[in-house]
Amino acid sequence: MRVEEVLAAAGLNIRGHTIPPQRIRVLCPNCGRTSGADGLRHAETGGQTNHDCPHCAATVLTVRPAPGKGGYQLKDWIVVPVAGMSVDVPGADEPV
Interval 22-75: pLDDT, tens: 999 999 999 999 999 999 999 999 999 999 999 999 999 999 999 988 999 999
Give the Cβ contact number of residue 65 at 10 Å: 12
Taking the whole predicted model, whether its pTM rises above 0.85 is answered as yes
Res 92 pLDDT > 80: no
Contact 64, 58 (CB under 8 A): no
Res 95 pLDDT > 80: no
46 in the Ramachandran plot: left (φ > 0), alpha (ψ -120 to 50) or beta? Answer: left
Q: What is the pLDDT of residue 10?
A: 96
Q: What is the pLDDT of residue 90?
A: 79
Q: What is the pLDDT of residue 96?
A: 66
Q: What is the pLDDT of residue 43?
A: 96
Q: Domain segments of the chain: what residues?
A: 3-86
Residue 89 banded pLDDT, cuts 50, 70, 90:
confident
